[in-house]
């Protein structure tokens, strides 16, 4: 943990931001609302597809929908709050995280921890009101993110990205399991898509913020092994996505064609820009594509079931 003088300097440095934030905005920053929102989409997609394949009506199961979406969101929000509690020493070093309320002092470490544990507990209770499987998957996701990623691998190994991707891949499983505890092929493929997608997505972030991670002592792949190896790994992981849409043929060929086009587009973008001298610009393009990829892919899963 950084000493008091450094923390004090970081707080003074961000005094303008500090004074202009409301308690509500600080809470949203604490729970990383962007992560909560993105996982909301993938959780809902898993739930929606389970209802679709089980021939169950959406409105007839609105209670399950509400419990699932609230429960999963709270578990994710609580996990992010604990992550902010644990990482407040290195967050003050990185420009993208130094305005977080646990760094500015608007939320103390103890408060962040209590809020995180409370949200995970309430969220898990909501998930237990659907199925035990959904609740256990939610808890496993929180364990991977808080313990295995944040506390164990993030500051020790370059494989921290892979470890963290397990937690980010469980939301579709939670959504499906809340309706159907028997996890078949479709939810497993959704998990694999999310797991694989996260690695090139977060490696692109790591390339863009390489020097910040280096200053914070976080052993991200580009920090330890350089950009060339990182770019090759990103391409390899994206290639692993290519066969997965064909296992979702039950959603129809239009979806398979669209998903394949998205995969090929991402791969081509990566290969074409592989020799670029401006690695950070290449990483930015890959990052932006990954965001659009995820949104289009999971929204289209829902749309094709309505046609």
Residue ranges of the domains in the chain? 1-179, 184-307
Q: Which residue in 9, 210, 24 sits closest to 92, CA to CA?
A: 9
pLDDT in tens, 263-278: 999 999 999 877 777 8
- Say which CATH class 1-179 falls into: mainly alpha
Q: What is the mean pLDDT of residues 87-105?
A: 90
Half-sphere exposure of 189 (CA within 13 A, CB side): 21
Q: What is the pTM of this model?
A: 0.90
Residue 114 and residue 276: Cα distance in Å, rounded? Answer: 46
Asked if 116 contacts 159 with a C-beta cutoff of 8 angstroms, the reply is no
Identify the band that residue 112 occupies on the pLDDT scale cut at 50, 70 and 90: very high
Lowest mean pLDDT among 5-14, 63-72, 239-248: 5-14
Identify the band that residue 20 occupies on the pLDDT scale cut at 50, 70 and 90: low
Residue 9: what pLDDT? 39
Asked if 305 contacts 52 with a C-beta cutoff of 8 angstroms, the reply is yes
Tokens 């990483």, residue located: 283
HEC secondary structure over 46-104: HHHHHHHHCCCCCHHHHHHHHHHHHHHHHHHHHHHHHHHHHCHHHHCCCCCCCCCHHHH
Share of the chain residues as helix, strand and coil, in percent rounded to the nearest 5:
80, 0, 20
Residue 206 and residue 97: Cα distance in Å, rounded? Answer: 14
């Amino acid at each position: 943990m950084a000493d008091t003088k450094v923390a004090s300097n970081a707080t003074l440095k961000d005094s303008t931001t500090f004074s202009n934030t409301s308690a509500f905005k600080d809470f949203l920053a604490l729970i990383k609302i962007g992560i909560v929102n993105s996982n909301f989409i993938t959780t809902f997609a898993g739930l929606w597809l389970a209802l679709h394949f089980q021939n169950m009506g959406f409105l007839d199961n609105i209670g399950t929908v509400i419990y699932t979406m609230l429960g999963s969101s709270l578990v994710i929000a609580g996990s992010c709050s604990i992550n902010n509690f644990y990482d407040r020493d290195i967050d003050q070093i990185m420009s993208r995280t130094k305005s977080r309320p646990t760094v500015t002092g608007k939320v103390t470490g103890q408060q962040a921890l209590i809020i995180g544990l409370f949200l995970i507990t309430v969220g898990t209770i909501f998930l237990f009101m659907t199925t035990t499987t959904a609740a256990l998957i939610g808890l496993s996701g929180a364990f991977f993110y808080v313990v295995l990623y944040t506390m164990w691998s993030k500051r020790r190994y370059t494989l921290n990205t892979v470890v963290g991707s397990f937690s980010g891949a469980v939301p579709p499983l939670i959504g499906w399991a809340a309706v159907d505890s028997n996890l078949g092929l479709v939810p497993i493929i959704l998990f694999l898509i999310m797991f694989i997608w996260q690695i090139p997505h977060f490696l692109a972030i790591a390339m863009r913020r390489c020097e910040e991670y280096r200053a914070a002592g976080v052993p991200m792949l580009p920090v330890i092994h350089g950009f060339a190896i990182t770019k090759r790994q990103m391409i390899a992981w994206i290639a692993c996505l290519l066969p997965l849409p064909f296992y979702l043929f039950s959603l129809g060929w239009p979806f398979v064609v669209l998903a394949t086009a998205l995969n090929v587009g991402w791969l081509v973008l990566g290969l074409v820009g592989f020799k670029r001298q401006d690695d950070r610009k290449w990483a930015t393009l890959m990052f932006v594509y990954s965001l659009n990829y995820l949104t289009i892919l999971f929204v289209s899963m829902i749309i094709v079931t309505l046609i």
